[in-house]
Amino acid sequence: MDKTLWIVSGGVEAVPGIKRAKEMGLRVVVSDMDAEAPGFAFADDRVMASTYDAVATAKAAVEYSRKNRPIHGVICIASDVPMTVAKVASALGLPGITADTAALASDKLAMKRRFVESGIPAPWFSPVESPAHLKEIMKERGVPLVIKPVDSRGARGVLRLGPRVDPVWAFGHSIGYSPGRRVMAEEYIEGPQISTESVLIGGRGYTPGFTDRNYELIDAFAPYMIENGGEQPSVLSEGERLRVSRMAEDAGRAIGIRTGTVKGDMVLSRSGPMVIEVAARLSGGWFSTDQIPLATGVDLVGAAIKLALGEELGEDELAPKHRRGVAIRYFFPRPGRVVDIRNFERLEGVPWVHRMGFFVKAGDIIEPVTNHTKRAGFVITKGATRAEAVERAEEAVREIVIETRPVEGVST
C-alpha cells in the first residue's frame, strides 16, 4: 500500500467506496464521530472527528500525516461535507476543491446567485426573511412555490407551497432545519427531474451518471417533497440527455470546480434544462457506488478516487460500456412502532435484487414521512431493460411487509 486515502464519513453508504479504495491497493483512513460507524470495520485506520467539523478534521489529518504516514488524497462519499474535504486538502496540499467552491456548494442561495451571474438557467428564487415576507412572495408570484433551508440536505425542511399551505407554518418548519436560520423560496418547475453525476477534468466535462427521479408520491406526501427512487436508462432522448448533462457540467464549473465530481439536481422544463442545485461530491443513495456501475459499467467511485489522488484518468474510463435497466424504490410503511419485517428473506439471493436494506428494525418508531431520512428502507433491482428493473423493484416493495402498530403521539 504505497498511497493513503482519507475518506470523510464512515456511514453505511460510504462502505462500498471504502471497499473500492481497498481493492485499488490503498491504505484507507476513515474519519467519523460515530464510534459505531460501519465504515470503520473496513478501514485500515480510524479517526474520531465529526464529518461536519472541518477544522477538527483538518487538524486530525495533519496530525495523522505527521505521526503516522503521508496522506495522498481526501474524498467524501455519500456525505455532504465539501468544506471538510476542502479544508483537509488545503491543509495538506492535496488535490481538491477550494474553500470558496465548498462554500458555494454549501449555500444554495449563494449558489443560485452564481448561476445567474454565469448565465446558467435556474428557477426564480429569493431569500425569505419572515413569515410575512413569504406571504408577500406567495401573493406576488402565485403557487406552487418551493421553500427550503439554504444550508440543509436530505429534503429536510423542503416544502411545495400550494394554496392550502399556511405560510407561517411553512416558514417555521423550513427554518427549523436550517443550521444558519436562513431559508429561500424558488419557483416550482414542472417537468422531468433528473439526477446527474459528472466528472470534470481540467474543466472538461463527462456525465456517466444520469437517472430519472421518481416523484410519483409527491401528492400523497404533500406538502413535503419526497422522492421515491429513480430508474435508468432515462426515457429522455439522446439530445435532451446531452443538453441536461452539459448544463450540469456548466454548473459545476460555475461554482469553481475544474477537476472533481459534480452531483446535479436538474429539471427539464418546457423552455429547456434548468439547474435546481449541484453538490461538489459523489452522490448518496447508492447512485455513485452501485446504480451507475450497474447501468453503465463505469467505475465512478474508482475514477473519483484517482482524481483525489492526483492521478491521470482516461476518457475511456468514463465512457458507458452498456445501458442496462436499474431501479431503486423506497419503503413507506404506516407510522407507528415496527412489529415485524417479513418476506425480505424471499428476495435474498434473487439474481435481480442487487441490494436491499432497512433503516428500521423491530421496536423502532416510524414517524410520518417529512423528509428523506424518514424512509424505512430501499431495494435496488436490475433488468435487461428499464421497464423490467422497475417492475421488479415494485414487486419487491409489494412483497416485503413492514408491520407497524399505532403509537400514542405519532400520527398515522
* DSSP secondary structure letter of residue 218: T
Asked if 358 contacts 331 with a C-beta cutoff of 8 angstroms, the reply is: yes
3-class state of residue 11 by DSSP: coil
Q: What is the pTM of this model?
A: 0.95
Phi/psi at 200 (nearest 5 deg)?
A: -110, 135
Q: Which amino acid is at 149?
A: P
Q: CA-CA distances (angstroms) from residue 122 to 56, 156, 222, 278, 341? A: 35, 21, 23, 11, 42
Position 410 scores a pLDDT of 80
141, three cell numbers: 408570484
**pLDDT for 266-294, tens place per residue?**
999 999 999 999 999 999 999 999 999 99
**Can you give the pLDDT of all 412 residues of the chain as single tens digits?**
589 999 999 999 999 999 999 999 999 999 999 999 999 999 999 999 999 999 999 999 999 999 999 999 999 998 999 999 999 999 999 999 999 999 999 999 999 999 999 999 999 999 999 999 999 999 999 999 999 999 998 899 999 999 999 999 999 999 999 999 999 999 999 999 999 999 999 999 999 999 999 999 999 999 999 999 999 999 999 999 999 999 999 999 999 999 999 999 999 999 999 999 999 999 999 999 999 999 999 999 999 999 999 999 999 999 999 999 999 999 999 999 999 999 999 999 999 999 999 999 999 999 999 999 999 999 999 999 999 999 999 999 999 999 999 988 787 7
Give the separation between CA 183 and CA 108, rounded to whole angstroms: 9
Position 1 scores a pLDDT of 57
Q: CA-CA distances (angstroms) from residue 247 to 118, 261, 288, 300? A: 11, 14, 19, 19
